Amino acid sequence: MKLRIVVTLKPGVLDPQGKAIEHALAGLGFGGVAGVRAGRIFELDVADDTSDAAVDEMCRKLLANTVIENYRVERQP
């Protein structure tokens, strides 16, 4: 089973990488771009019998820092 785990900074947490990208895009002449937020994505191939709870635990223990990050698990078709 293929999973996609998207880890993004919580709203309100400062995102210097996103800000840098925003400024760089403006510098390259792309106007009208705002609110850039950078995150990470992990694509995993897990055994079909992996429970939702186990996936959640993987995220909390290793993939995301839940103090400042949110994560979202998407099951791939």
Return residues touching a second copy (CB under 8 A): 6, 8, 18, 21, 24-25, 28, 30-47, 49-50, 54, 57-58, 61-63
Task: Determine which helix (DSSP H) or strand (DSSP E) holds 53, and give its type and residue range.
Answer: helix 52-58
In sequence order, what are the residues at sequence separation of 6 or more whose Cβ sits closer than 8 angstroms to the Cβ of residue 19?
A: 36
Task: Give the amino acid at 56.
Answer: D
Cβ 64 to a second copy shortest distance, Å = 12
CB of 22 to a second copy, least distance (A): 8
Supply the minimum distance, in Å, between the C-beta of residue 47 and a second copy: 3
